Amino acid sequence: MLNRRLAGLGTTIFAEMSALALTTGSVNLGQGFPDTDGPPEIAAAAAAAIMAGRGNQYPPGPGIPELRQAVAAHQKRFYGLDVDPGTEVLVTAGATEAIAATLIALLEPGDEAIAFEPYYDSYAACVAMAGATRVPVTLRPPGFRPDISALRAAITPRTRVILLNTPHNPTGAVFSRAELTGIAALACEHDLLVVSDEVYEHLVFDGEHVPIASLPGMRERTVTISSAAKTFSFTGWKVGWVTATPELVSAVRTVKQFLTYVTGGPFQYAVAEALALPDAYYAGISRDLRAKRDVLCAGLAAVGFGVYQPAGTYFVTTDIRPLGETDGMDFCRRLPDRAGVVAIPSSVFYDTVAAGRSQVRFAFCKKEEVLREAVERLTRYRA
Ligand code: PMP
Ligand code: GLN
């Protein structure tokens, strides 16, 4: 029944693998969600908003003023960016809706959208929904650095959008200022829009997060997307946001109106408070995750995986060839039964599937004992 444009999209690998984790009793290092909720005072703020009747009826379409102001204040506080909360912020149902609404709003059928592969699965789906064509530029191990000359070569007269994601899921690469400057120069030269997915902006262990909108010439051509999910460990709340010029925000809002109309009211009040948490909170989440990264990376390396150490995000990409394996999809389908661990085959994030065939992604946004249990199970399996 699915229309031809969307043929082949099927069930997301995350849902498939999380279901498999449940039925096999496996440690789930597949889908990226933390096993510990975010700050209790922020959860209490959501509960208090519900009980006080704040946001229980349709909130304003662009988002409640408190949250739009908090997003603008966040962009100023961390990046020195001036964003007008009245016209340059749109609250969305997670970054997922922001990506969908943005791509549907900006792309015409026949347009091309360039994305660095491996890429997050919703990009392909949303480019397809817009009737456009995705054009991959491959990030290659060990560093998964963006190749600016490959990007230049991928640009055609039909290119409309460069879809960027830094810190990058699934590789954990954090694009440097110099790399982003190279991407920005091409966007300016060819008059392209950039859609920048920055949901992991605060989960950086090495280097710094640079929003491409902060580079010269980019503010007017960038739609910046982020979300409360990862920064505050509330992936179930689905509160995200877009910041861009009034013209771009208005285009995205036009689509959002007819996707969800508005985003859950009480959560918006809580996220407005979360964004104002002190610097110690933000430093704390990346410090905690770095420790988890180190535990899982060391454990996987000891088991025999090739480990590409991530500089940010929830994820580590591994190479299974040192284990004598070649096909990540096959490996991940067998792993729950054999080892009691779930991981994601990175090939699902590639158009050029061969490039990622032997890569497997593990999530480390889990309690340390859970990570150690997964490593123990993998060690026993390999013994
Ligand atoms: N972009 C990337 C790169 C992601 O990893 C995720 C996480 N699911 C999202 C967007 C979606 O974020 P949200 O949960 O806020 O919709
Ligand atoms: N972003 C998460 C991941 O990459 C999962 C989100 C989802 O299930 N759609 O694993």
Rounded to whole angstroms, the Cα distance separating 370 from 35 reads 9
Please report where in the chains the tokens 């992604």 appear, as a residue. Answer: 361
Q: What is the pLDDT of residue 90?
A: 98
Q: What is the pLDDT of residue 374?
A: 98
For every residue of 283-337, DSSP letters joined together read: HHHHHHHHHHHHHHHHHHHHHT-EEE--SBSSEEEEE-GGGT---HHHHHHHHHH
Q: What is the pLDDT of residue 7?
A: 84
Q: What is the pLDDT of residue 295?
A: 98
Check: CB of residue 94 under 8 Å from CB of residue 227.
yes
Q: What is the pLDDT of residue 8?
A: 81
Q: What is the pLDDT of residues 302-328, one digit of tens each?
A: 999 999 999 999 999 999 999 999 999
Check: CB of residue 88 under 8 Å from CB of residue 243.
yes
Look at residues 93, 70, 77 and name the one whose alpha carbon lies nearest to residue 229: 93
pTM surpassing 0.75?
yes
**CA 14 to ligand 2 centroid distance, Å:** 6
DSSP 30: S
Residues of the chain with pLDDT under 70: none
DSSP 168: P
Ligand 2 nearest-atom number relative to CA 31: 10
What is the helix (H) or strand (E) element at residue 194, kind and residue range?
Answer: strand 193-197
Rounded to whole angstroms, the Cα distance separating 238 from 31 reads 16
User: Could you tell me if the CB of 18 is within 6 A of ligand 2?
Assistant: no
User: Could you tell me if the CB of 14 is within 6 A of ligand 2?
Assistant: yes
Helices (H) and strands (E) in the chain, counts: 14, 13
**Ligand 1: residues within 6 Å at CB?**
94-96, 120, 165, 169, 197, 199, 227, 229, 235, 238, 240
Amino acid at residue number 152: R
Ligand 2 nearest-atom number relative to CA 169: 4
Q: Which ligand is nearest to the CA of 346?
A: 2
Q: What is the pLDDT of residue 383?
A: 82
User: Could you tell me if the CB of 31 is within 6 A of ligand 2?
Assistant: yes
